[in-house]
Amino acid sequence: MEQQHALCVGSGDVTTDIFSGEIPDITPDLDNQAESAIAKLMSALSSEAREKAYKDMHGVPDVAMESPELLQKGLGQLQFEIDNIIDKPAYNQALKQDPNYVCDEEFRTLFLRTDEMNPGLAALRIVRHFQLKLDLFGSECLTKTITQDDLDRDDMEALYAGRGRVLPSKDRAGRTLNLFIVGQPSSTQAMLRRSFYNIMSNPQATQGGIVTIIYGVGCQSVPNRAFSWKFPKIAEGLPVRISAVHMCQSKSLYSMAFAFVMMAFDAFTRIRIKTHSGTHDEVMASLRGYGIELERLPLNRDGKISDLEEYRQGLLLQRARERLQHPRRNRIHVPCMFDVLFGKGTPFQNHVGNKRFRLMVTEQQQRYTKSERGEKLQVAQDIVDNVIENSGVFLKPDGESWIAVENDAARAKVSATFRTMRRTNKRLQSSCKNLPSINNRLSLKKSGDNNEGYNMKDAFY
């Protein structure tokens, strides 16, 4: 067990910045280097550690024993171990911002369980976690639970593409499956932020270990060198223990790139990597031998995603839950379909949230018209409350992002919309009196949809 834990850190490297250091080149002899490094690690293992790695790879259940006494002992030692780490600027900054968040017992327990109740390793992982979070999201989000409202447009496009996600299905050992499909043309930062969000949006789901499947069958694109190096390292700052990694490729097409990824993983994970080469069917058949069934993966026989619409709807519902569970953000990068946007013109009017809002106003138009002045304010407030209770936010543009407006401004918009609709209805009623007969009406030209501003993808957000 001690040897296994030593491998978690990897080569004696205890730096708290997991992305520090220069990214190496992908060289022709990298295959041989990776094989040699893994063979050397395997030969240094005890028979017990080698058997544990074999079980992890093949999906053999191995239940770790945990008692309340062991957990309390670990939590008691954890702060001592953190204090002994000298280089921890991001942790110190987070502690100053919100000590309750940093010292939350449930939060710390996630890291202890990840490192099997080893306080020293858990302390290092926690310190790395805050450095990673600072690097990816900045100081404003350092002591917040990251939600979709914290992601920018590039992040959201990477997330909603469905090519990198934690699956709801498990392998035969009950471990969570993490799928990454090679070849997405997103930025390194966007894919790293997506990976962080995927794990931290439901960290309890990965406590029993996670099995990562890197699927590159049929991929012809040039590997993203920066992401290929950083993606394996991100787990060192998250409460997740990688039990196995399965790399799937077409014959040896991606072998050098996959060897590059192997070398980026820490030593504990490196000996738990298996490469599967061949067609999609051949790769799937090989994965079955490691406890992963084809029906658990959202992939067609041609390697395409099979459940994209269902997956996106799930993300949308998740975003709605996040807004109910966590404090509302004052600034949002990408509005969602529940939001009401301030602004004039077709792009704003065509936003799904604005259409829903106008429908609410239409349904209450008669009530508003018959109400006295004080009662009109209440009708407007009821609509504001309805939007907010259904996970919506009233937003006004501010550069490339959006700012949540105060309640009075939201209510004023509702009242203004009532008045606008009343004037519009009066004009329509007046014009209807002067309409020509149906035989003399002008035919409407088909002008096509106006694609300015928001496009169809925004409906998913």
Q: Is residue 425 part of a domain?
A: yes
pLDDT band at 105 (very low <50, low <70, confident <90, very high): very high
Beta-bridged to residue 213, according to DSSP, are 179, 246
- Domain assignment present for 31: yes
- Looking at the structure, do residues 297 and 366 belong to the same domain, yes or no? no
292 and 194 part of one domain? yes
Same domain, 250 and 339: no
Residue 177 pLDDT > 60: yes
**What global pTM score does this model have?**
0.86
**Cα 392 vs. chain centroid, distance in angstroms?**
20
For residues 333-340, average pLDDT: 94
Segments forming the whole domain that contains residue 337: 330-431+453-460
Q: φ and ψ at 273, to 5 degrees?
A: -105, 135
Question: What is residue 354's predicted lDDT score, i.e. its pLDDT?
Answer: 94
263, 365: one domain:
no
Predicted pLDDT of residue 228: 84
Q: 314, 341, 363: which is the final residue of a domain? A: 314
Give domain status of residue 118, yes or no: no
The average confidence (pLDDT) of the chain is: 85
Domain end among 258, 280, 314: 314
For residues 365 and 264, state if they share a domain.
no
pLDDT tens-digit map of 123-141: 999 999 999 999 999 999 9
Mean pLDDT within 382-407: 95
pLDDT surpasses 80 at 460: no
Task: Tell me what pLDDT residue 407 has.
Answer: 96
Q: In which band, very low, low, confident or very high, does the pLDDT at 374 lie, cut at 50, 70 and 90?
A: confident
Answer yes or no: do 309 and 339 share one domain: no
Contact 148, 318 (CB under 8 A): yes
What gap in Å lies between CA 237 and CA 436, rounded to an integer? Answer: 71
Same domain, residue pair 153 and 215: yes
Pairing of strands 394-398, 340-341: parallel
Domain boundary among 281, 314, 347: 314
Tell me whether residue 197 is in a domain: yes
pLDDT at 426: 62
User: Cα separation of 211 and 296, whole Å?
Assistant: 12
User: What is the pLDDT, as a whole number, of residue 430?
Assistant: 53
Do residues 161 and 256 both lie within one domain?
Answer: yes
pLDDT of res. 425: 65
Higher pLDDT, 18 or 236: 236
How many domains, in total, are found in the chain? 2
Same domain, 153 and 247: yes
Most confident option among 37-51, 211-225, 237-251: 237-251
Structural tokens at position 96: 């100053």
Contacts of 25 (CB under 8 A, 6+ apart): 225
Q: Which has the higher per-residue pLDDT, 205 or 413?
A: 413
Residue 435: per-residue pLDDT:
45
**How many percent of the chain have pLDDT more than 70?**
85
Helix pair angle (119-137, 2-9), 10° resolution: 20
Amino acid found at 331: R
- What is the helix (H) or strand (E) element at residue 283, kind and residue range? helix 280-288
Q: Does 320 reside within a domain?
A: no
The CATH number given to whatever domain includes residue 288 is 3.40.525.10
Enter the DSSP assignment of 106.
H
- Is 67 inside a domain boundary? no
H/E run at residue 179: strand 176-181
Asked if the model's pLDDT at residue 449 lies above 50, the reply is no
Is 267 inside any structural domain?
yes
Span 241-284, pLDDT tens digits: 999 999 998 876 556 777 778 888 888 888 899 989 999 999 99
Domain shared by 334 and 304, yes or no: no
Lowest mean pLDDT among 20-29, 287-296, 332-341: 20-29
Does one domain contain both 162 and 259? yes
Q: Are 177 and 308 part of one and the same domain?
A: yes
pLDDT at 5 over 50: no
- Establish if 198 belongs to a structural domain: yes
Query: In the structure, what pLDDT confidence band is assigned to residue 57 with cuts at 50, 70 and 90?
Result: confident
What percent of the chain is modeled with pLDDT above 90? 58
